[in-house]
């Protein structure tokens, strides 16, 4: 699972929860790195913070990003 959040506290909470469930995770530094990670590797799910500097979660999960990853849909809770 990919966990993307600019808050170290939020990132730690999310990754601890995943670890407790036995789920592996990767945590890129920002939205741009997250987009690159999704384009280079298949993830079962992406937990993306909506408010981040440089590239927020909405921009990072735009449909164009989804198309580059083989047409998989990316859902937002917005
Ligand atoms: Mg944030």
Residue 54 backbone zone (phi > 0: left; psi -120 to 50: alpha; other: beta) = left
Residues that place a CB less than 5 A from ion ligand 1: 6, 49, 51-52
CA 3 / ligand 1 centre spacing (Å): 12
Q: What percent of the chain has pLDDT over 90?
A: 45
Q: How far lies 44's CA from each of 7, 51, 78, in Å?
A: 22, 22, 20
Query: Per-residue pLDDT averaged across 6-18, rounded?
Result: 95
CA 10 / ligand 1 centre spacing (Å): 8
For residue 77, pLDDT over 70 is answered with no
CA 12 / ligand 1 centre spacing (Å): 13
């Amino acid at each position: 699972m990919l966990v993307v959040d600019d808050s170290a506290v939020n990132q730690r909470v999310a990754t601890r929860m995943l670890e407790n469930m036995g789920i592996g995770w990767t945590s890129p530094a920002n939205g741009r790195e997250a987009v690159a990670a999704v384009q280079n590797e298949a993830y079962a799910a992406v937990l993306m913070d909506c408010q981040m500097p440089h590239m927020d979660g909405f921009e990072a999960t735009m449909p164009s990003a989804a198309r580059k990853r083989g047409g998989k849909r990316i859902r937002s809770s917005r």
